[in-house]
Structures are given as structure tokens and as C-alpha cells.
Amino acid sequence: MAKPISFTLNGKQVSATADGTRMLAYVLREDLELTGTKVGCGQGLCGACTVLVDGEAVRSCSTSLASVAGKEVTTIEGLGLAEKLHPVQEAFLDHHAFQCGFCTPGMILSAYALLKKTPKPDRRQVAEALDGNLCRCGAHVRILAAVEAAGAKGGTR
Amino acid sequence: MNRRTFLQTTGAVGLFVSFPISLRSQESEKIPSEVPEYPKDFNAYLKIGPDGRVGCFVGKIEMGQGNMTALAMLAAEELNVSLDQVDMLMGDTDLCPWDGGTWGSLSIWQFGPVLRGAAAETKAVLVQMASEKLGIAAERLQVKDGVVSSLGDASRKVTYGELVQGKQIERHLKDVKVKPVAEFTLVGKEVPRKDGRLKVTGGAKYTADIVPEGTLHAAILRPPAHGAKLLSVDVSAAEKLPGVRVIQAGDLVAALHARSDQAREALGRIKATFQPSPSALSNGTIFEHLLKAAPPAKQLAAKGDLKASEAATIHKVEATYLDNYIAHAPMEPHAAVARWDKGKLTVWASTQAPFLLRSILTKALGLTARNVRVITPFVGGGFGGKGMAPQGVEAARLAKVAGCPVAVVWDRREEFFLDTFRPAGVVKVRAGLDQGGRIVTWEHHATGVGESEAETMYDIPHQRITSAGSWMGGNPAGMHPFGVGAWRAPAANSNVFAKESHMDVLAAKAGVDPVAFRLSHLKEPRMIVALETVEKAFGWTRKPGPTGRGFGVACANHRDTMVAAMAEVAVDKKTGVVKVKRVVLAQDMGVVVHPDGARQQVEGCVVMGLGYSLLEEIRFKNGQVLDENFDTYQLPRFSQMPTIETILIPNPNVPAQGGGEPAIVVMGALIANAIHDALGVRLLQMPMTPERIKQALKA
Ligand code: FES
Ligand code: FES
């Protein structure tokens, strides 16, 4: 059952000794102690647990550990540097695009994945890309503006 | 472990934002007041470190509403320190002064003055101490960024840190006045939120992120329906899984494992049989049931003589407005982590009321307040749904049996099942117009809803306002098939939906533009200003409705905050889908502490209001909650967002009011009125789903 599964996590090689059928969100949070990834629904329905796998935004609550073997996983902790935030994070900060902040890591990573593909999205494209990410606090209009602004400023660097 | 080391090792997991060691070291040995009132001694709220940093201790919690920033601004303003110098510590029952709970938009208007008073006295004491030290009269001193200096010679100065030297301030002064609004230099300014950096980097800790050494995660057995009693349970298959412990403590049956997902898997192997729930109610039969099951009505207001006024009444208009149960659905599910340490219990909990949870824990576990510490990390949304925090008791009980720390984090199904819903309700309004098109009679009867905002703000000579049953409890047993409770602006959403819908019905009957109709019945000057302000910003032109434009208006005086809103909608007649294109909202909330924070709250209210107006409804049958996740229970999404324009009407003459609730109360009627203006049909039940709209069009 539990054998070591290796992947790249935020630029570093890691290996998790766990059952490969376990979902990545729990391995990240509990085995690897990166709690920036949040679990809001556990069924791929809210986007709080979004991480990047090889640059694509995926729901880590519904992505098995085995499926990321050998791949590159990025969580919110891996996005910026301690001294310097990533431009998408900057934009969220500037626009106050969060309230309780629980959806924020997933929002930022979803936005990052969008900007990689579509560097200068318009509001409709942002809305479409983030439509599966829920925010109960209603920070939506801020988030839309932040992602648009991050795009206009040069996106993901 | 003495308090000092305890604080140093565990303080960082509460709502400490970059709290420096220098401040921690002066922690006193006594627990701040166990008495349920705000302490008088400013030392309970404020501590000055030797480096001049200000520790601000408050029993409120930060759940997104921005009070960490707004309260820090109030303290910094009165102390004349920079906002960056203030470190907030919130919601820790061992370190913070008592507080009644974070709800009802009370943080600013009720607690704000307490904190300001404490900070003003602290500053006055410090200036007196500086005056003695520098040998300069207090009137000849100024304070900036925590440095007290001579007005004539800025080089003669002393800092707060030097004055206090890391000690508790013993001196007190009486009757110190807070700053007049005109002298504010920080309050009312745009500042970055203090919780921002942590929240965009993933560094913000929520309860489920706190995992003390040796923690087991618990997955608790729940009945399939409310009222279903456990008959038998077989845990053998679950216990066979490696690393699993099953605990059965009375009604509490749980699978525990060092990993939460594996605890859930084990829970899935527990076989249990339940007696079916005795409840035969469903969302189809609930309104009829509520009218029968409600307690006797209470009269809230009465004026004039309804009977006698009949003679003057030309048109009588009566309607019944319906509201369903809705969920709080915060993105962060309820969570608690409990740890016992030599008879002392520490519980980290996602709660809006840490001191209430402390007293619930002391009772449930037979402890004294001294032996219970509740720490509240960041809370991922509450909206009234995290007042009681029963998961805290669950975690504490399980940890006691398990002999190790236990984390209880509800999954989404539990969140929907155990929520204390906004109650379903029925509001009947009956009103009469006279010859001249003025409202002469107004009767409002709310069932199940609650009292807030039941009364009308309009100038109507004959009225009677009654209410039967409430979200607050005190209802006859079995009135609601599950728990109900406060939901952001409790009762007001349902009452204002009825009242402001009915105002439009009357305006249409009178053949008068709905804005003009409201203005002719309003007395409160601040409300009139708000309505005229939004009218101008929106570009409303006055015409009797329905006009086909899809324009709606609604307003409310919510606890002395004036809200007037307008919306534009487009409705697809074939599909019944409503697209809200824009919302413009003017709000007079008195002094605004943090304008951008206030605007965020308004936007949040608008979005959450769109949810209850158009999408949200709990479906249930025989005690079973049929909505279990976000596939069937729909929250507003990005593609449904209107543009939102918020106008804060400056009003230095009214003390700062809360901003977390007022704007949400107008949303139901606002959307109903806009739909009526677009289609000429009146929706009497929320949410105004495509099906209900199509049905109304057919009728
Ligand atoms: S927690 Fe994974 S999508 Fe909601
Ligand atoms: S900020 Fe609270 S859920 Fe989005």
C-alpha cells in the first residue's frame, strides 16, 4: 500500500510515503504540513483546494497522490518568495480581493493558471476561468479586478 | 508550564499578527476578567512594548469582515501611533478581555467606543508621564507615532516604549475624552488590511491548520436524518484498519486516525442502523406547518386605529411573502482542535464567540473557566453560523477519551446537516391606500422569521406589526425540523423582502414612480438623502412601474444605518433566468472607520443577497437534508456577478455603525422589484428561481 511516491513540490524534490489512492490535498496538508491548501467541500465542487500540477489548476481533494508521481506540484506556499510576492498575490493584496481568505489560495492559483495561458484576460474570461471557485464572502468583484489588473501588468512574470 | 512560556510557545497560533517577543514577556499571571463585561482597566486591551509596539487585545474574532484592521485603526488613532505599530491579538480567552461574540455588526459600533476609550486613557496617562519626565506641561506636548515631544523643541522627546519600559501601567485617569471626529488623521483613510499578507501567501492559520503533536483526526458518525435515533452500531470493520481507533462515548461515535482522510474512510466502514425520523415535513409542506405550529403572535407596534381607517381606504392590497431555509455555507467548515494538558483544556475553534464556547465547555466538561482556554485562529467565514461551535465540545470530549489531542473538522455534508439554518418564514402584509394615493393602513405579520425590521419606517397613520416565532429560539418544539439560528442580519432579510416588495406593489397601484412614492412617505432625513443619492448615481428616471426597464429600488434603515439600493436586471422569459447587471447602493453608516473595508462588506452583502434572492434554498424531507454539497446548493458565482457601485455617504455627526449587515437586507425586494419592472409579474417567494419565474409568467 504505502510506498514512497516522489514528485516536485514548490521546486523541491519530495517523497511521500503514503497510499497512492489518497487525495493530494490531505497529503499536502497533513503529511507534508503545507496547510495553505484548503479543503472546503472535499468533492471537487468549490476550488478551495486548487493547486498547480505541471502548471494546470487541479482540485487536490480529487486528485490522487499516485497521479502526481514525477510531476511538478505548486501550492500557494510555492508561488511567491518570502521577500517578494508574486504579481498575482500583489494584485490580490492591492485590490483587497479577499475577506476571510479561505478561498484565496485556490483563487490565486486558479488565476495564475489562467494568466499562464491567457496573459491578458478580459473580465469575462476571468469569470469563466474562476467560475468553479466559490467565495462565500462575496469578494468576487475584487477578485475579477485583481486578476484583470495582474494580467494588464504582465501577468505571471 | 507557566503562562509566560506558554504564551511564547503557543501564542503564534492564535490571531497574533507578527507579535514580537518584547510584548509577550510582560504578560501578567492573571486571566483577564472572567466576568462577562468589558473590563474598565485599559491594560486589558493595550500593552506597550519596550520597543514602542502596541499590543491590542480584543475578544472579537476576524472572520473576513475586516475588524482586525478597523479596530487597530481606532486604537492607533486614539494613541497617536502608526497603524503598523499595532499588533492585534484576537479571540484568545486567556489573553483577551471578555467579549460577547462577533456578530450583529457590533464590533465597531458597540465595541469600538470601548476600545477608543481605553486607548484615549492610555495616551493621556502616557502624556502625563512624559510631562513629568521631560518637565514640560502636558499642553505643550505632542504625540506622533508613539513619540511624545515638546511643541516648541522636537528634540526634547520620549517614546511610549521608554516611558513604559515593558511594565504594566499602574496610573489611571478619569473622564478622558476620545478624539473628536474632526481631529481624526487615520480613521476614515484607506489603509491596507492587516490580515492581507498572511491571506495571500497561505500563511494565515485557520483552526484545521493547527495540529498539535500527536493529534488524531476524528470523523464522527451522524444520523441520516434529524430526529433519527441510533439503534445499533458495528465498528469491527473500521477497527481493523491500521492506525484506526474507534471511540464510543454515549451518543458520540467516532473513528480516529492520524490522517483526516483515513479517519473518514474508517467512518465509512462503521455500520449503523437508525430509527427513521418522526418528521414528515418537507420544503413543500413547511409553510402550512409553520402557520399552524407558530407560537401566539406578539405585537411589536401599533398606531392609530385600523378599524376606523377602513373608511378612508380606497385600495386594499394584501400579499403573502415566503422564505425558505437557507444555509450559512462558510467556505471553512466548522473545526476544532482540543488538547488536554494536566487537567487544563485548550480548544482552538472556528467560532464567532470564543468566550461563549469557553462557558459551554466549562459546563459540558465540568471545568472552571480558569481551566479552559479557547483560541480562535482566523475564521473562514461565519455569517452567524458559527455562534455555538458544538464541534468544540465534540473535540474536547473525544480528546479526553482518546488521551491525545483531537481535531474535529466537519465535512461539507456535516456542514449542511448540522447548520443552524436561516428559518423559513411567512410574512403577510396588508395595506390600504387612500384617495390621494397615500398609505393609510399597514399590517405586517411575520411567522417564523423574527422581529428585526418588522416595523415600517414609513409615515403611515394606522399600523399594527406582529410577529410569531423567531430564529432566536423559544419556538414550540417541532416548529422547525432542524436547528435554526442567526443568519447575517437575522429576520431583517425576510421582513424587508416583504415590506419593500409591498411598497412597490402599492406604488404601482397608486400609479406613482416607486422612488417618488417612497420619498413621499419618508420622514428620516438621512434615508431621504440616501435614496436621492442612489437615484442620481444610478441614473433613475421617474416613471410609474412596471416600465419594462428591469429597474428596481429598495431601502432600509437597519439599526440606524441607511441603505438605499437600485438594480438593473435582464430576465430571459423563456428560461426564467435573471441576470443582474448592476447594483448601485448608497449607505449612510455614520463615521466610516475604514472606507475600503466598509465597501468590501457592502459588496459581500450584495453577493450574498443575490444568493438568497435567486439561488439558495435548503431542500429537505422527513428530517433528511437533501442538499449535501455545492452541486445542488448553489452559491453565487463569478459569471453571475453584476457590477457593484457603493457610495458611502459621509456623516461625521453619527457615530460609526456596523457595516457587515445593513446592505444585505434590501437585496430580496430589490431583485423582486426589478423583476417586476422587467416582466410585470410579482415574485412572492424567495429564491426567485427560473422555475418560479416561469410559473409566475404563466399564471
Ligand atoms: S475542497 Fe476540493 S474542490 Fe472543494
Ligand atoms: S474570502 Fe471568504 S470565501 Fe472567499
- The confidence band for B104, taking pLDDT boundaries of 50, 70 and 90, is confident
Residue of B nearest to A91 (CA): B200
CA trace torsion A57, A59, A63, A65 (10° rounding): 80
Q: Give the model's pLDDT for residue B13.
A: 39
How far apart CA B615 and CA B685 sit, in angstroms, is 12
Picking from B456, B648, B644, the residue whose alpha carbon sits closest to that of residue B533 is: B648
- B377 torsion bin: left (phi>0), alpha (psi -120 to 50), beta (else): beta
Dihedral pair phi/psi, residue B7, rounded to 5°: -65, -40
> pLDDT tens-digit profile of B231-284?
999 999 999 999 999 999 988 999 999 999 999 999 999 999 999 999 999 999
Ranges in chain B annotated CATH 3.30.365.10 = 3-201, 207-276+334-409, 286-325+421-698
Q: Give the model's pLDDT for residue B310.
A: 85
Q: Do residues B102 and B382 make contact, with C-beta atoms less than 8 angstroms apart?
A: yes
User: What does DSSP say about strands A56-59 and A72-74: parallel, antiparallel, or unpaired?
Assistant: unpaired
Q: Give the model's pLDDT for residue A155.
A: 65
Q: What is the CATH number of domain A87-152?
A: 1.10.150.120
Model ipTM value: 0.97
How far apart CA B171 and CA B194 sit, in angstroms, is 30
Contact assignment for A136 to B196 by CB distance below 8 Å:
no
Cell of B469: 416565532
DSSP state of B635: P
How far apart CA B458 and CA B518 sit, in angstroms, is 8
Interface of B with A in 102-161 (CB under 8 A): none
User: Omega into B687 within 30° of 0, i.e. cis?
Assistant: yes
Q: B379 to chain A: which residues are within 8 Å by CB?
A: 100
Dihedral pair phi/psi, residue B291, rounded to 5°: -60, -35
- Closest Cβ opposite residue B331 in set A35, A46, A80: A46
Q: A26 to chain B: which residues are within 8 Å by CB?
A: 259-261
DSSP secondary structure letters along B226-246: TTPPEEEEE-HHHHTSTT-EE
Interval B586-613 mean pLDDT: 96
**CA atoms in the 13 A half-sphere facing the CB of A7:** 25
- Is B319 near chain A, with CB under 8 Å? no
Percent of chain B topping pLDDT 90: 90
- Is B204 near chain A, with CB under 8 Å? yes
- The residue whose CA is least distant from atom 4 of ligand 2 is A135
- Is B268 near chain A, with CB under 8 Å? no
Q: Is the pLDDT of residue B42 over 50?
A: yes
- Ligand 1: residue of A27, A41, A133 to mutate (most ligand atoms within 8 A of CB) is A41
Q: Give the model's pLDDT for residue B36.
A: 82
> pLDDT tens-digit profile of B464-515?
999 999 998 789 989 999 999 999 999 999 999 999 999 999 999 999 999 9
Q: Do residues A101 and B197 make contact, with C-beta atoms less than 8 angstroms apart?
A: no
* Cβ B331 under 6 angstroms from ligand 2: yes
- The confidence band for B141, taking pLDDT boundaries of 50, 70 and 90, is very high
How far apart CA B7 and CA A154 sit, in angstroms, is 44
Q: Give the model's pLDDT for residue B657.
A: 86
- Choice among B33-42, B57-66, B596-605 with the minimum mean pLDDT: B33-42
* Cβ density class A98-115: b for 16+ within 10 Å, e for less: bbbbbbbbbbbbbbbbbb
How far apart CA B534 and CA B542 sit, in angstroms, is 13
> pLDDT tens-digit profile of B549-589?
999 999 999 999 999 999 999 999 999 999 999 999 999 99
DSSP secondary structure letters along B150-184: ESS-TTSEEEHHHHHTTSPP----SSPPPPPGGG-
Ranges in chain A annotated CATH 3.10.20.30 = 2-78
Cell of B129: 508621564
List CB contacts of B113: < 8 A, sequence separation 6 or more: B178, B655
* Cβ A139 under 6 angstroms from ligand 2: yes
Residue holding cell 455588526? B105
Contact assignment for B331 to A80 by CB distance below 8 Å:
no
Contact assignment for A85 to B193 by CB distance below 8 Å:
no
- Ligand 2: residue of A46, A92, A93, A135 to mutate (most ligand atoms within 8 A of CB) is A135
In chain A, DSSP finds a helix count (H) and a strand count (E) of 5, 5
User: Omega into B546 within 30° of 0, i.e. cis?
Assistant: yes
Cell of B271: 455500520
Q: A32 to chain B: which residues are within 8 Å by CB?
A: none
- Is B190 near chain A, with CB under 8 Å? no
The tens place of each residue's pLDDT in chain A, 157 residues long, gives 678 999 999 999 999 999 999 999 999 999 999 999 999 999 999 999 999 999 999 999 999 999 999 999 999 999 987 678 999 999 999 999 999 999 999 999 999 999 999 999 999 999 999 999 999 999 999 999 999 999 998 866 5
Interface test with B, best of A133, A137, A142, A148 (most B CBs within 10 A): A137
- Ligand 1: residue of A51, A58, A59, A135 to mutate (most ligand atoms within 8 A of CB) is A59
State the pTM of this model: 0.94
Q: A105 to chain B: which residues are within 8 Å by CB?
A: 202
- Is A109 near chain B, with CB under 8 Å? no
- A43 torsion bin: left (phi>0), alpha (psi -120 to 50), beta (else): alpha
Q: Is the pLDDT of residue B21 over 50?
A: no
Average pLDDT, chain B: 93
- The confidence band for B27, taking pLDDT boundaries of 50, 70 and 90, is very low
Using alpha carbons, list the distances in angstroms from residue B401 to A95, B245, B248, B338.
47, 11, 9, 12
How far apart CA B525 and CA B161 sit, in angstroms, is 47
Residue that wins the pLDDT comparison between B402 and B28: B402
Q: Give the model's pLDDT for residue B34.
A: 63
Q: Environment class of residue B408 by beta-carbon count within 10 Å: exposed (0-12), middle (13-18) or buried (19+)?
A: buried
How far apart CA B371 and CA B362 sit, in angstroms, is 8
Q: Give the model's pLDDT for residue A1.
A: 60
Q: Do residues B542 and B663 make contact, with C-beta atoms less than 8 angstroms apart?
A: no
Q: Give the model's pLDDT for residue A120.
A: 95
Q: Give the model's pLDDT for residue A132.
A: 98
Cell of B621: 424531507
Q: Is the pLDDT of residue B447 over 50?
A: yes
Q: Give the model's pLDDT for residue A156.
A: 63
Cα angle at B416 between B617 and B280, to 5 degrees?
70
How far apart CA B376 and CA B360 sit, in angstroms, is 15
The CATH architecture assigned to A2-78 reads Roll (3.10)
* Cβ B603 under 6 angstroms from ligand 2: no
* Cβ A41 under 6 angstroms from ligand 2: no
Q: Is the pLDDT of residue B225 over 50?
A: yes
Residue holding cell 469600538? B112
DSSP secondary structure letters along B124-137: HHHHHHHHHHHT--
- Is A41 near chain B, with CB under 8 Å? yes
How far apart CA A86 and CA B617 sit, in angstroms, is 39
Interval B182-186 mean pLDDT: 96
- Closest Cβ opposite residue B200 in set A34, A104, A144: A104
Closest-CA distance, A52 to chain B, in angstroms, reads: 14
Percent of chain B topping pLDDT 70: 95
Q: Do residues A8 and A44 make contact, with C-beta atoms less than 8 angstroms apart?
A: no
How is domain B3-201 classified at the CATH fold level? Answer: Aldehyde Oxidoreductase; domain 4 (3.30.365)
Give the right CATH number for B207-276+334-409 from 2.120.10.30, 3.40.50.300, 3.60.20.10, 3.30.365.10. Answer: 3.30.365.10
- The confidence band for B2, taking pLDDT boundaries of 50, 70 and 90, is very low
How far apart CA B479 and CA B434 sit, in angstroms, is 38
DSSP state of A30: I
Contact assignment for A43 to B631 by CB distance below 8 Å:
yes
Q: Is the pLDDT of residue B16 over 60?
A: no
Q: Do residues B115 and B123 make contact, with C-beta atoms less than 8 angstroms apart?
A: no
Cell of B114: 470601548
> pLDDT tens-digit profile of B365-380?
999 999 999 999 999 9
- Is B660 near chain A, with CB under 8 Å? no
- Closest Cβ opposite residue B378 in set A85, A101, A137: A101
Ligand 2 centre to CA of A84 (Å) is: 23
Q: Give the model's pLDDT for residue B656.
A: 87
Closest-CA distance, A16 to chain B, in angstroms, reads: 13
Alpha-helical segments (H) within B593-644:
595-610
Interval B55-68 mean pLDDT: 95
Interface of A with B in 46-105 (CB under 8 A): 46, 48, 75-77, 79-80, 85, 89, 92-93, 96, 98-105
Picking from B522, B385, B431, B207, the residue whose alpha carbon sits closest to that of residue A35 is: B207
Maximum CA pair distance of chain B?
84
Contact assignment for B629 to A43 by CB distance below 8 Å:
yes
3-state per-residue secondary structure call for A96-148: CCCCCCCCHHHHHHHHHHHHHHCCCCCHHHHHHHHCCCCCCCCCHHHHHHHHH
Q: Give the model's pLDDT for residue B699.
A: 87
> pLDDT tens-digit profile of B677-699?
999 999 999 999 999 999 999 98
How far apart CA B74 and CA B60 sit, in angstroms, is 14
* Cβ A132 under 6 angstroms from ligand 1: no
The CATH architecture assigned to B286-325+421-698 reads 2-Layer Sandwich (3.30)
How far apart CA A112 and CA B200 sit, in angstroms, is 13
Q: Give the model's pLDDT for residue B26.
A: 36
- Choice among A29-43, B95-109, B598-612 with the minimum mean pLDDT: B95-109
- The confidence band for B18, taking pLDDT boundaries of 50, 70 and 90, is very low
> pLDDT tens-digit profile of B646-659?
999 989 999 988 88
Ligand 1 centre to CA of A155 (Å) is: 25
